[in-house]
Amino acid sequence: MQFRFEPRGERSRLWSVASPVLAIFVTIMATGLIFAVLGKPPLLAVYTFLVVPILNLAGLSALAVKAAPLIIMGVGLSLCYRANVWNIGAEGQFTLGAIAGGGVALAFANAPFWLLYPAVLLSGVAGGMAWAAITAILKTRFNANEILTSLMLTYVAQYGLIWLVTGPWRDPKGFGFPQTALFSASATTPVIVPNTGIHLGCLAAPFIALGIWLLLSRSVLGFQLRAVGLAPRAARFAGFSEVRLIWTAMLISGGLAGLAGIFEVTGPIGQLTTEISPGYGFTAIIVAFLGRLHPIGVIFAGLLLALSYLGGDAAQMNLGLPSAVTGIFQGILLFSLLGCDILILYRVKRIVPLKLPAGETA
């Protein structure tokens, strides 16, 4: 029996929702298989990876904390990708947000909270935007591919951070560790659920997703971004400026990545160090696609990918598996998702042998 893919002729609404579900299922099966090959009982391993981390309140709050940057960056990237602008450098914009906001937090450590904290957040957003603006200008002025420039700028940002925290910004009382002084209370993101790590950023994330969803679906700007992504010529025909829309998409996604960065360093981390992100900016790309480039879908995708970080820790502690399983899980998930997405535009059809009409000749 042979099968082939046959074009549906239109997008299947069912499969654009079912495809991520199938992809998650395939990923769990594949991950279980890898656990089995590594000599661990697959069911227990999958249970440890995906369920154990959220069995208690501490686990749930850790999930919220990990999901916040993923969701905030994921919605920004969704908007960007909808506009056909391929910003791969959220990690770098996250880093610049942390540097810019962190710099303000260190410089004015003694300013009052109501003045300093908003200034820190705004500087974080501005830092992310500025970093994204480099990519935007290279794209719009010199037609440089944004995938390459935004990715390369990520490494520049990371080395810049390392230089700062090992050099000029290093805490003089820090025994030579590569880190800045702890931020003052005025520059610390408030915890909103006492005795957990759940901070203001966790609360902001779903509202940001909602806001971006409304922007995309209801506003003229959102329409323009979607139009330029679906059909650039039609957008030009409608009088929308592609250059302006590239700038808008880059600045919004860069600004949100910067916001995620400043929430992270003024919240859970509390200072600048060389390791401020376990690759959130790259994971956010998976989050955006798994969430169907839809801000509300991104919330769920962000929670799942956040779980993969916690699961990696749990698998390492309880089963002695390397923490690389997080990356493996994320990779298989993106791979399966892109594979399953073929079902949105194609259906699987069995090839039937040619029926020859008998006796019907002449």
Partner 1 sequence: MSAPQDQTPLLKLIGITKQFPGCLANDHVDLTVGQHQIHALLGENGAGKSTLVKMIYGVMKPDAGEILWQGERVTIANPAFARRLGIGMVFQHFSLFEALTVVENIALGLNNKADRIGLADRIVEISTRYGLPLDPAASVHDLSVGERQRIEIVRCLLQNPKLLIMDEPTSVLTPQEAKKLFATLRRLATEGCSILYISHKLEEIRALCEAATIMRLGKVVAHCTPAAHSARELAELMISAKLKPNDFAPRPISDRPPRLILDRLTIRSNNQFGTDLTDISLDLAHGEIFGIAGIAGNGQSELMEALSGEIPSGKPEAIILDGIKIGHEGPNERRRLGGSFLPEERNGHGAIGGMSLSENGFLSGHVRGSLHRLGLIDRKRSFDFAQSIIHRFDVRTTGPAAEARALSGGNLQKFLVGREVLQAPGLLVINQPTWGVDAGSAAAIYQAIVQLAEAGTSIILISQDLDEIFLLCDRLAVIAGGRLSAPMRVADASIERIGLLMGGTAEAREVAHAVPV
C-beta of 192 vs 230, nearer to partner 1:
230
- Nearest-CA neighbor of 274 among 89, 53, 84, 98? 98
Minimum Å gap between C-beta 80 and partner 1 is 18
C-beta of 10 vs 110, nearer to partner 1:
10
Minimum Å gap between C-beta 143 and partner 1 is 13
- Nearest-CA neighbor of 107 among 115, 148, 160? 115
Minimum Å gap between C-beta 140 and partner 1 is 15
Minimum Å gap between C-beta 11 and partner 1 is 7
C-beta of 173 vs 355, nearer to partner 1:
355
The pair phi, psi for residue 109, each rounded to 5°, is -55, -25
- Residue found by looking up tokens 């299947």 in the block: 12
Q: Beta-strand (E) ranges in 60-218?
A: none
- Nearest-CA neighbor of 276 among 130, 74, 92? 92
Minimum Å gap between C-beta 94 and partner 1 is 29
R_g over Cα of the chain: 23
3-state secondary structure of 358: coil
Minimum Å gap between C-beta 206 and partner 1 is 22
Q: Find all residues with CB under 8 Å of 3, minimum gap 6, and list them.
A: 348, 349, 350, 351
Phi-psi region of 359 (alpha: psi -120 to 50; beta: other; left: phi over 0): left
Minimum Å gap between C-beta 346 and partner 1 is 11
Minimum Å gap between C-beta 3 and partner 1 is 15
Do 84 and 260 form a contact (C-beta atoms < 8 A)?
no
C-beta of 163 vs 237, nearer to partner 1:
237
C-beta of 213 vs 280, nearer to partner 1:
213
How far is the C-alpha of 26 from the C-alpha of 14, rounded, in Å?
18
C-beta of 199 vs 226, nearer to partner 1:
226
3-state secondary structure of 55: coil
Minimum Å gap between C-beta 149 and partner 1 is 23
How far is the C-alpha of 282 from the C-alpha of 215, rounded, in Å?
24
Integer angstrom CA distances of residue 356 from 4, 245, 250, 359, 360 = 21, 56, 58, 9, 9
C-beta of 7 vs 176, nearer to partner 1:
7
- Nearest-CA neighbor of 290 among 12, 7, 27? 27
How far is the C-alpha of 179 from the C-alpha of 81, rounded, in Å?
34
C-beta of 195 vs 361, nearer to partner 1:
361
Which residues contact partner 1 (rule: CB under 8 A)? 6-11, 218-221, 223, 226-227, 230-231, 233-234, 236-239, 241, 354-357, 360-362
Q: How far apart are the first and last CA of the chain?
A: 33
C-beta of 229 vs 268, nearer to partner 1:
229
How far is the C-alpha of 295 from the C-alpha of 72, rounded, in Å?
9
Minimum Å gap between C-beta 85 and partner 1 is 17
- Nearest-CA neighbor of 128 among 245, 243, 260? 260
C-beta of 11 vs 43, nearer to partner 1:
11
